[in-house]
A and B are shown apart, each in its own frame.
Chain A
Amino acid sequence: MRRLLFILPLALFVVLAGYFTLGLFRDPSVLPSVLIDKPAPEFALPALGDKPGLATADLAGGVALVNFFASWCVPCRAEHPMLMRLADEDHVALYGIDYKDKPEEAKRLLAQLGDPYRRIGVDHDGRTAIDFGVYGVPETYVLDKAGRIRFRQVGPITQEDYERKILPLLKQLGAS
């Protein structure tokens, strides 16, 4: 019995080495979403200011982009002009979820840089972000008409991302 105790570190290491071997053959830079082709998680978030809030039902019926953002997030500010362009010129249905943020700061951000969102939900405790599997802000999800997640963009949407990945998908999904 006492001997087993001394074998324990070795046994643990054998398990660990097995995992390392498996881990060696995986690409750590790919961040797929486990929710791809699955319905978006259920949520109903309170409003920011006088705009209506955001719930799962609001996303149904059309192709939608759901963008997680925060006023404290610098890449979000970098992404902001891109979002404004999407909303103004391309008429994409863009919904925002304000992630772990102070509402007054978020309002100030949108007042300063413009508000591209049709509706905004305030995810104060980050619970909805967890349901979506958000890795960090900004993050954007493309939902089809049936409300299923079809694409996940980690980090700000660049011009190239938009033209090569998002726009073709939007066309394919039949967004007007």
Chain B
Amino acid sequence: MIVELGHYSLVLALFMALLQASLPLVGAARGQLALMALANSTAVAQLVLVGFAFAALVHAYVTSDFSVVNVVENSHSLKPLLYKVTGVWGNHEGSMVLWVLILSLYGAAVALFGGNLPPALRARVLAVQGMIGAAFLLFILLTSNPFIREFPAPLDGKGLNPLLQDPGLAFHPPFLYLGYVGFSMAFSFAVAALIEGRVDAAWARWVRPWTLAAWCALTCGIAMGSWWAYYVLGWGGWWAWDPVENASFMPWLAGTALLHSAIVVEKRNALKSWAVLLAIIAFSLSLIGTFLVRSGVLTSVHAFAVDPARGAFILALLVVAIGGSLTLYAIRAPALKTGGLFAPISRGGALVLNNLLLATAAATVFVGTLYPLFLDAVGGGKVSVGAPFYSATFVPLMVPLLVTLVFGPLLAWKRGDLAGALGRLKFAFAAAAAVALATFWLATGGPVGAVFGMALAAWIFAGTALEYADRIRLLRAPPGESWRRARNLPRAAYGMTIAHLGVAILVTGVTASAWQVERVETMRPGDAVDVAGYSFRFAGTQPVAGPNYTAQRGRFVVTRDGAPVTVMQPEKRFYPVQRMPITDAAIHTNGFADLYAVIADTAGDDGAWVVRLYYNPLVPWIWFGAIIMALGGLVSLSDRRLRIGVPVRRTAAAPVAPARA
């Protein structure tokens, strides 16, 4: 019964979305406030209805209702409760319901907290959100309905893919979707602005918090996904340029560019049509990401729903959403008035460079991800594009981006003083040089690129810290004066400083991968192997039983110079329901380096195993840095300027005028 109610409320939500997508637009065009206000109530109703449907699905999973096909396919009565719940979005249908739930959450947030938006803009934004919601609800109901029953009900379910039975997965997709779907807000604002034919500083200020929130969530989501891959997939790596990883990374790059260009729109009233295009692109890339994952157009471990009918529907959706918005852009954007000018060497100029590099980087990842598809479509055979491509293209784009990252905040808006900035950065130069020398000496050489990367990280860290010190006139003014300045700095400034420090930490972690030590060995009990100064003695394996798996648990006694360090217990698990083996890596970290052990396969009858042992220096800093970056975003989001004190639009009271060329 609850399942049927869930199904029914999803259908009702579709009708609400259709209402929300149509009448408020009419109201906004005619200036009828009652019709415009309809958008708010339908948006809230949509959240309630989709929320109920989602709760009904969770209920079916938790109670193991095996008359529901989706539950049979993805759950099992013996599964731990946590994975019964996370199993709801560990499959195609359920993850789509989560997608729409988050979409309606953003819509309702605009309806409830968007009181300072002009009514017409709010109505149009919500109408565009309604269109997206209607499309996805239709997609769920027509091709991916999770509420279909099956009679007679089987005795038990087929269980969830064991790779997905992990606490990391519990929060990875919701964060990723909060990011993907969050960019729909920027998209809706962009389309609404194009319909109105006006983009100004106030628009940029309204778009920014939504983009920031989405960006923070996506940053966390990608970091979690990468961490999950690191400790579950057991290959010692944290990023593989897998098409699905790229699918989440491309919107992140576009969203990062949008965050920075929105500042230029707000402060200089420039780059307007570019910011609108970026908003469209960021969400389009999110949609394309969904398409790539769901349709099976590209092969990947993530493609848990390979179905051409769904692919065709999503493709149609892409054509309407992206094609439609870009058509609107082609018609309306030329009419947007260009605003203030700035010299090439200025903060605005630095942000333009930032945007050029980020957009090119996103395009590079895009080409790398889709090149196999292009080549195959023209009969050029099957290829796979891997890390060497990205090392040769993506990294050279990141280097100038990271070098100039330090300059931007030091330059003035209209015309910057490069010599002055360089002078203020002499300590950052010194820090970078010192770190380069120290790295070269400590690592006894090492790849030149990696030494340079460490110097770059030091440069960002020191440069960002210097910029902050400069702002509060540390050591150049009395301490009381510095303290007063520190307190008065806006939260947005703190957000930037924190996020940029996070970048420095991330770059350190990524670069240090160059010094990873890997050993693949066949070990018998009692054998010892030396990895980067640590001695791993294999003490054999013993069988253990988990809640829904059996496993062989290996034991490695790790010592360094004879002193005990830790005991590591990697497992090779077997899930009988899915008949699937899974490696469970053992990781020992001290914050500066990880020891990583995997038992891969048995090798013979004498208890020998093929094992993989890694020493991963500084790898935890990758995720630490990403979290700091997201934290910076949150601090910036808490800036009061984004909540209150938004200037009343100069022409807010006037009837909405069509675009003027």
List residues of A whose CB falls within 8 A of some B CB: 2-3, 6-7, 9-10, 13-14, 16-17, 19-26, 28-32, 34, 71-72, 74, 77-78, 112-113, 133, 135
Contact = CB atoms under 8 A, between A and B. Distances in A.
B476 to A, nearest CB: 46
A2 B273 CA distance: 12
Contacts of A32: 381-382
B308 A25 contact: yes
B389 to A, nearest CB: 13
A72 B610 contact: no
Interface stretch (B89-97, B368-376, B560-568, B616-624): B368-376
Contact of A26 (B323, B376, B600, B603): B376
11 contacts: A9-B330, A10-B327, A13-B323, A17-B318, A19-B374, A20-B291, A31-B382, A74-B520, A77-B600, A77-B601, A77-B603
Nearest to B384: A135
Q: Which of A22, A23, A25 has the most CB of B within 10 A?
A: A23
A23 B382 CA distance: 12
Nearest to A26: B376
Contacts of A112: 522
Contacts of B377: 19, 22-23, 26
B373 A23 contact: yes
Interface size on B, as a range, is 35 or more
B657 to A, nearest CB: 21
B297 A24 contact: yes
B297 A20 contact: yes
Interface string B297-325: 11100000000100110010011001100
Nearest to A73: B520
Nearest to A28: B299
A7 B601 CA distance: 56
Nearest to B611: A74
A130 B589 CA distance: 38
A122 B465 CA distance: 50
Contact of B334 (A2, A10, A19, A20): A2
A74 B600 contact: yes
Given A24-B308, A34-B381, A74-B612, A29 B520 contact: no
The majority secondary structure among interface residues of chain A is helix
Contacts of B232: none
B295 interface: yes
A34 B383 CA distance: 11
A16 B366 CA distance: 11
Given A9-B277, A9-B326, A21 B610 contact: no
A121 B431 CA distance: 47
Q: Which of B326, B329, B600 has the most CB of A within 10 A?
A: B326
A112 B308 CA distance: 47
A14 B370 contact: no
Q: Which of A16, A17, A25, A113 has the most CB of B within 10 A?
A: A16
Contacts of A22: 377
Interface in B265-296: 273, 277, 280-281, 284, 291, 295-296
Given A77-B522, A113-B522, A6 B334 contact: yes
A119 B54 CA distance: 61
Nearest to A19: B377
Nearest to B303: A28
Interface of B: 273, 277, 280-281, 284, 291, 295-299, 308, 311-312, 315, 318-319, 322-323, 326-327, 329-330, 333-334, 370, 373-374, 376-377, 381-382, 384, 518, 520, 522, 600-601, 603, 610, 612
A20 B298 CA distance: 10
A24 B280 CA distance: 24
A100 to B, nearest CB: 11
A24 B277 contact: no
Nearest to B332: A6
Given A23-B376, A24-B297, A26-B376, A72 B520 contact: yes
Contact of A74 (B277, B330, B333, B601): B601
Given A29-B299, A71-B520, A72-B518, A10 B326 contact: yes
Contact of B323 (A2, A17, A21): A17
Nearest to A4: B330
Contacts of B299: 28-29
B315 A21 contact: yes
Given A23-B297, A113-B603, 14 more contacts: A7-B330, A10-B327, A13-B323, A17-B322, A19-B377, A21-B315, A22-B377, A24-B295, A24-B308, A28-B296, A28-B298, A30-B382, A34-B381, A74-B520
A176 B295 CA distance: 46
A17 B319 contact: yes
B337 to A, nearest CB: 13
Given A10-B323, A31-B382, A74-B612, A20 B601 contact: no
Contacts of A72: 518, 520
B37 to A, nearest CB: 34
A24 B295 CA distance: 7
A162 to B, nearest CB: 19
Nearest to A105: B520
A114 to B, nearest CB: 11
Contact of B315 (A17, A28, A30, A78): A17
B311 to A, nearest CB: 5
Contacts of A78: 601, 610
Contacts of B329: 6, 9-10
A36 B510 CA distance: 40
A34 B379 CA distance: 10
A74 B308 contact: no
A7 B329 CA distance: 8
A22 to B, nearest CB: 4
Contacts of B296: 28
Nearest to B295: A24
Given A9-B326, A10-B330, A32-B382, A24 B312 contact: yes
Contacts of B601: 74, 77-78
Nearest to A34: B381
Contacts of B612: 74
A6 B659 CA distance: 16
Nearest to A16: B370
A152 to B, nearest CB: 11
Nearest to B312: A24
Given A74-B610, A112-B522, A3 B334 contact: yes
B24 to A, nearest CB: 26
B483 to A, nearest CB: 49
B86 to A, nearest CB: 27
B608 to A, nearest CB: 10
A21 B298 CA distance: 13
Contacts of B326: 9-10, 13
A37 B600 CA distance: 36
A90 to B, nearest CB: 22
A6 B329 CA distance: 7
Contacts of A21: 315
A17 to B, nearest CB: 5
6 tightest A-B contacts by CB? A22-B377, A28-B299, A10-B326, A7-B330, A34-B381, A23-B297
Nearest to B292: A20
A117 B221 CA distance: 47
A32 B284 CA distance: 32
Nearest to A77: B610
Contacts of A31: 382
A168 B312 CA distance: 39
Nearest to A2: B334
